[in-house]
Amino acid sequence: MSERPSMIEYYSSAEIEAMRPAGRFVAGVLAELARTAEVGMNLLELDDLAARRIKEAGAVSCYVDYHPSFGGSPFGKVLCTSVNDAVLHGLPFDYKIKDGDLVSFDFAAEVDGWVADSALSVVVGDASEHDLHLIDTTTRALEAGIAAATVGNKLGDIGHAIATVARGDGLKVNTQFGGHGVGRTMHGDPHVPNDGRPGRGMKLKPGLVIAIEPWFLQTTDEIVYDPDGWTLRSADGSRGAHMEHTVAITEDGPIILTARD
């Protein structure tokens, strides 16, 4: 998900430290979801699991009441589950996971007033080489984007690093949805597109906290909405993968606040 409010915020070292519990919580829930998802499990069960973890932690869902301009209605769930040709904003519904399904989880929560946002893709059951390669490419693109998130670089360097990995594997890049600022709210400025020109755009400064989130489709860069007003699918039915971390830019290099063990 991404929406663009109008102000870029920078955070102190102490504030970035205060964000760590939110990052650890989001990372832990995603890791549990990836371990738990199995053939025959319903997407609604996984959403219920994430909701229980939020309640147990005294956290706050960033999704339940979320209704940006691109959403058809308030989201109403705590987790995005996008399956196969769905790649973003998947609204959980009564669907049992099948063998070989490619499932993307996107999860954001607030802990003690701070937000973290992260996503990952997994194949449940027997995985095809095509799906594993797509996930690997998306993972390497995320790593490249994070490596470019250093003080003195430009915003375009992050997008260029992501797109270079994608195009190197023959994938097209959609820039309609991408990363975004994170902090006290889930979606803030700047928008962090998954493509860019090196050395161009906003200069990266210490204290900027952003979600970097490459997502790719196997054979297209065009997306269409489901009737639910949320779920975004490939226009040609090809599968998609989505990876995301919340990253703080510091003088000592990028800190991945949602790093998973």
Per residue of the chain (261 residues), give pLDDT as tens.
444 445 899 999 999 999 999 999 999 999 999 999 999 999 999 999 999 999 999 999 999 999 888 887 899 999 999 999 999 999 999 999 999 999 999 999 999 999 999 999 999 999 999 999 999 999 999 999 999 999 999 999 999 999 999 999 999 999 999 999 999 999 999 999 999 999 999 999 999 999 999 999 999 999 999 999 999 999 999 999 999 999 999 999 999 999 997
Does 244 belong to an annotated binding site?
yes
Of 235, 236, 225, 182, which is closest to residue 90 (Cα–Cα)?
A: 225
Of 3, 7, 42, 11, residue with least CA distance to 207: 11
Q: Is 17 annotated as a binding residue?
A: no
Compute the distance between CA of residue 81 and CA of residue 67 in angstroms, rounded to an integer. Answer: 17
CA distance to 70, 176, 231, per residue, from 235 (Å):
18, 14, 12
Count CB atoms within 10 A of the CB of residue 147: 14
What pLDDT score does 26 carry?
A: 98
Task: Tell me: is residue 3 an annotated ligand-binding position.
Answer: no
Judge whether 45 is annotated as a binding position.
no
Bridge partners, 60 (sequence order): 110
Q: Is residue 133 a known part of a binding site?
A: no
160 annotated as belonging to a binding site for a ligand: no
User: Is residue 251 annotated as involved in ligand binding?
Assistant: no
Percentage of residues of the chain with pLDDT beyond 90:
94
Domains in the chain: boundaries = 13-256
Could you give the CA distance from residue 111 to residue 174 in angstroms, rounded to a whole number? Answer: 31
Q: What is the CATH superfamily name and number for domain 13-256?
A: Creatinase/methionine aminopeptidase superfamily (3.90.230.10)
